[in-house]
Amino acid sequence: MEKITERLLNWASILDENARAQAVTTSTMPFIHPHLALMPDAHLGLGATVGSVIPTLGAVIPAAVGVDIGCGMIAVKTPFVREQLIANPKGLPELREQIERAVPLSAGGANNKIVATAEPRVAELEALAAEAGFDPASRAKRWRHQLGTLGSGNHFIEVSVDETDAVWLFLHSGSRGVGNRIAGHHIDVAKRLMARYWIALPDPDLAYLVEGTEEFDRYIAELRWAQHYALLNREEMMDRVVRQLAEWMGAPFDELERINCHHNFTEKERHFGKEVWVSRKGAIIAREGTPGLIPGSMGTASYVVEGLGNELALNSSPHGAGREYSRSAARRTFTHEQLREAMAGIEFRDTDAFIDEIPQAYKPIDRVMEDARELVRIRHTLRQLVNVKGN
């Protein structure tokens, strides 16, 4: 751990100067308590650094939560082993295609109808929205039909095996269009308030909402709804992936374990003697014994972990590998052939649309996990057999 300033602690051994400077700027906000914690996967973000844990007294910075509210991972351990999948005459390409048919992919993707498994989840979200006093359709009209959809970018669905050859299902997604619109709306509200009260900021994306105000209460209500939407979105997709694997294997199965965790969210917690709002922008909760998921980049290892409860890190850990190249820089730097080489032995949709997700665009996940040795213990190391992504 590196103490950059009195209010900024860093666990990242790979940290570019722009990300470091951004984190220093965020840590100077007057309501940070006691300090900002940078995770091993930290990299430049909007307003606040991705991979940062930001505890605040009496205020929340909407951009420090991020625009994909509640984004996170879910994993299921199955009773199958690697050899059973490899021996299946249907082949892994058919399994990938079945998953792609069951889960709408890519930005803007939506279901044609609300399927039976989604109906009770939609009803639950409708009730929660009524309780929160807002209509999600005022933010995104298709929110019901996007429940159970993946999105694009670094969101993925994977079939992997651990060190014992046990088969795991693993996916990464968030609150889709509705979460993005909720976040964008409240970021704009915060910026307008800063302008109204002549509050100067070191970065306009550090605009904040003050606890006890109507604007703060409205944001927290919609934020919590979006966080739950993201969790149920992952549950809905995972149920479909489980069903597709069972059909492909020709045998229903009981799950051995299921883990679902956010990495873009805000919760009220107690740290260093005070109640604070902890915004984890690209970080997961890692309290002592708490299970968590840390995916690597496309084509590399992912990890099932258990928290160590490091209080200096505000009981947090990294959420993934963390980018070293921006998407545009990755597309300028790497080639389709290099992507194929990186994905050797993994069934994936072979297209140059994924060049910006090539593993070389990210920090080495083994380096990130070494940096996180004070934050989590590794329970399982997962290696991919099948990868599904949206363009």
Residue 68, burial from CB neighbour count under 10 angstroms (0-12, 13-18, 19+): buried
Rounded to 5°, the CA angle 240-230-247 comes to 5
Q: Which long-range contacts (CB under 8 A, 24 or more apart) does 111-118 make?
A: 111/145, 111/146, 111/147, 111/148, 111/149, 112/145, 113/145, 114/144, 114/145, 114/147, 115/148, 117/148, 117/236, 117/239, 117/240, 118/144, 118/147, 118/148, 118/236
Reply yes or no on whether 319 is catalytic: yes
Q: Which of 33, 35, 263, 319 is catalytic?
A: 319
38 contacts 317 by C-beta, under 8 angstroms = no
Domain that holds residue 159: 2-389
**pLDDT tens digits, the chain, 391 residues: what are they?**
999 999 999 999 999 999 999 999 999 999 999 999 999 999 999 889 999 999 999 999 999 999 999 999 999 999 999 999 999 999 999 999 999 999 999 888 899 999 999 999 999 999 999 999 999 999 999 999 999 999 988 899 999 999 999 999 999 999 999 999 999 999 999 999 999 999 999 999 999 999 999 999 999 999 999 999 999 999 999 999 999 999 999 999 999 999 999 999 999 999 999 999 999 999 999 999 999 999 998 889 999 999 999 999 999 999 999 898 999 999 999 999 999 999 999 999 999 999 999 999 999 999 999 999 999 999 999 999 999 998 8
pLDDT at 390: 87
In degrees and rounded to multiples of 5, residue 341 shows phi and psi of -65, -40
Q: How many domains does the chain have?
A: 1
Predicted confidence at residue 153, as pLDDT, reads: 86
- What is the CATH classification number for the domain harbouring 372? 3.90.1860.10
DSSP letters, 103-129, are S--STT---SS--TTTHHHHHHHHHHH
Beta strands in the chain (DSSP E): 2-5, 8-10, 36-43, 50-56, 59-60, 72-81, 156-161, 166-173, 209-210, 257-262, 264-271, 274-281, 283-285, 291-294, 302-307, 316-318, 376-389
In 40-64, which positions are buried (b, 16+ CB within 10 angstroms) versus exposed (e)?
Answer: bbbbbbebbbbbbbbbbeebbbbbb
Q: Which residues contact 276 (CB under 8 A, 6 or more apart)?
A: 33, 55, 56, 57, 268, 269, 270
